[in-house]
Structure 1
């Protein structure tokens, strides 16, 4: 496989048509090699427009979804970012190039170890990977400028929103199949949050988050 041609095709045919037009984001997608964060068994599919299986219950987000969430978060160099659902570390690596510091939580011990190894191999120095559930965030390190949920949840817990700075943003994929939407929630005041729906998609669930209660009659 010609990796550079496959990467170019991914960016031009999948990611750019999904309104990922920020040139700094597109450049990072060329620099941070996605295939280096894909398990060996699926490396040939690293550039395919689909989620990739990581464990029995976890999947790596599709390239265009990763890129769009990353772009819309608009991380700045002075900011501290919390990622929930680090998986194998690819999005954390992207964030590391934009943020001052990234803390990535991963509930699966095996994935957390993979993320640490992948980030070390890539020379990333400003990301800390912690093997822990992310539903409660990380109160010891709050407030955050930005929080990214790298997978879907039924709803965003208020405890996470409360860990944002005023002006801080949280990006997440919310809902249940077949209807999920990527949303951006901005803390505009001490007790005031604004939600903007960005795009429809479907993504694998993050572990540890409560599901919406089922209706009973």
Structure 2
């Protein structure tokens, strides 16, 4: 039976996948190089933890590819004092990365089983500044404002209340549009305006309930 050298696989992921995709923030690269991604993957897919793949998590959900995780973290320009809202916990891996980079993370997960598994993995990795809530981000209401928001599933249109959760000066990474031609953007909540910067094209599964309404042609 072949034993996988996860440390080497992690190094190759950073150097051959993530860094060439313009992820140059040294804090982000350090976290990706240190955090054991395999510890967050379902056992059946652990050997593929560092492959350039979206891995199934159950309930119709998938991880982001490592390059997308790295690019989202880099794009948000996270600071150690930031408070972050993550929409879509999934495996908990990106939650852990956010936790290592910022002061506090609140992560929303619609599937109770995924939330429970993510909490256990975060605890095992001593990520104690991240809380995972079972909630539907499309109906969840909260008066708190965050320095950064990371949305891990696509939306056809960015919900208005997502913007409301941003502090002045806050940033949001989100993928929107219609499959297969979606756009990843960075939203900046500036003093007198909202600025949206196009980052790259991609194609992601939608958040539950956030797919486009079907158009019927007669």
TM-score w.r.t. length of structure 2: 0.93
State the distance in 2 between where 1:209 and 1:43 align. Answer: 29
From 153, 157, 160, the equivalent of 2:159 is: 157
Aligned residue in 2 for 1:195: 196
Aligned residue in 2 for 1:13: 16
* 2:137 pairs with 1:127: no
2:59–2:111: 8 Å Cα contact kept in structure 1?
Answer: no
Superposed CA offset, 1:168-209 (max 9, x none): 11111112221011101111136x311001011112221132
Relative to 1, partners in 2 of residues 1:179 and 1:210: Cα closer, same or farther, differing over 3 Å? closer
What SS does the corresponding residue of 1:152 show, helix, strand or coil?
A: coil
Superposed CA offset, 1:48-91 (max 9, x none): 10100111411000000011001111111111110000011111
Aligned residue in 1 for 2:168: 166
* 2:45 pairs with 1:42: yes
Deviation of the 1:138 alpha carbon: 4.4
Superposed CA offset, 1:137-194 (max 9, x none): 5414x1111111012111110111011111111111112221011101111136x311
Aligned residue in 2 for 1:59: 62
Deviation of the 1:31 alpha carbon: 1.3
Structure 1 segments unaligned to the other structure (5+ residues): none
State the distance in 1 between where 2:33 and 2:175 align. Answer: 25
2:28–2:101: 8 Å Cα contact kept in structure 1?
Answer: no
* 2:59 pairs with 1:30: no
From 91, 111, 117, the equivalent of 2:120 is: 117
TM-score w.r.t. length of structure 1: 0.94
State the distance in 2 between where 1:17 and 1:4 align. Answer: 19
1:81–1:99: 8 Å Cα contact kept in structure 2?
Answer: yes
